[in-house]
Amino acid sequence: MNIGEVVKNLQIKYPSVTISRIRFLEKEGLVNIKRSPGGTRKFTRRDIERIAKIIELQEQEFYSLKAIKNNPNLLKNSKSKNITIEDYSLRDLLKQAGLSKEQFNELIQYDFEIEKDNYNNNDLNRMKSWSYFFSIGLEPKNFSVIKSINERSNDFVEFVQSLLPDDAIPDRENIIKNYSNLIRSYLLKNIF
């Protein structure tokens, strides 16, 4: 695989991956990519797994490159600490999601997002999804159907809540989770 293919492959899970980032990891000695006689980088499955592990350590476990470089056992250790960050600044959110400020501003312009002081993991996951769609050439203007679906979905969730007994604790998040699972499974059912 060449470097462009590797970036596209890794961006599905790690939207912040770029060609320059991979070249930097190579320059720092964290990956050693074989080259063709013409000098083109030729990535193996093992190379891609190593790059993914480095990015995972940086973005999910918050190790610095220096720490990774000085502790090679981190790359061998498959056990991960689960560190959950509850609040993100806009800058950190966009960096983790792989979105530019211009792309975020476009989402605001189309009323998909609003700027606020702190963002949470739901915001991060949504931004990663936006980043994915931006990376394949779609723009917010291509998603007008989401607004319609959102309005109808909110009405449906409120309807389901109204069916619960008065003494039941409203569990909006659980209703949304199960409703989302239904929609996802029907979309996948129709595709595959």
Give CA–CA dist 128/117, Å, rounded. Answer: 19
| Tens-place pLDDT, residues 113-137 | 999 999 988 899 899 999 989 988 9
**Is residue 52 located within the same domain as residue 11?**
yes
Question: Domain holding 35: CATH number?
Answer: 1.10.1660.10
Do the strands 34-35 and 41-42 form a parallel or antiparallel pair, or are they unpaired? antiparallel
- Give the domain extent around 153: 144-191
Q: Does residue 84 form part of some domain?
A: no
Q: Does residue 68 form part of some domain?
A: yes
Q: Does residue 13 form part of some domain?
A: yes
Alpha helices in 78-120 (DSSP H): 90-97, 101-109
Give CA–CA dist 108/114, Å, rounded. Answer: 6
Q: Does residue 103 form part of some domain?
A: yes
Give CA–CA dist 31/63, Å, rounded. Answer: 16
Q: Which two tokens stand for residue 21?
A: 């980032």
Give CA–CA dist 191/62, Å, rounded. Answer: 37
**Is residue 67 located within the same domain as residue 10?**
yes
How many structural domains is the chain composed of? 3
DSSP H/E element including 53: helix 45-59
**Is residue 18 located within the same domain as residue 60?**
yes
What's residue 116's pLDDT? Answer: 93
Q: Does residue 158 form part of some domain?
A: yes
At 143, phi and psi to the nearest 5? -120, 30
For residues 57 and 68, the answer to whether their CB atoms sit within 8 Å is yes
Q: Does residue 30 form part of some domain?
A: yes
For residues 127 and 99, the answer to whether their CB atoms sit within 8 Å is yes
Extended beta strands in the chain, E state: 34-35, 41-42
Give CA separation, 112 vs 50, 147, 151, 174, in Å.
Answer: 35, 8, 13, 23
**Is residue 7 located within the same domain as residue 63?**
yes
Per-residue pLDDT of the chain (192 residues), as tens digits, is: 899 999 988 988 888 899 999 999 999 999 999 999 998 999 999 999 999 999 988 888 778 888 888 888 888 865 545 445 668 889 989 988 889 999 999 999 999 999 999 998 889 989 999 998 998 899 998 888 888 888 888 888 888 888 887 776 667 778 888 888 888 888 887 765
For residues 79 and 72, the answer to whether their CB atoms sit within 8 Å is no
Q: Which amino acid is at 42?
A: K
CB-based burial label for 144 (10 Å; 0-12, 13-18, 19+): exposed
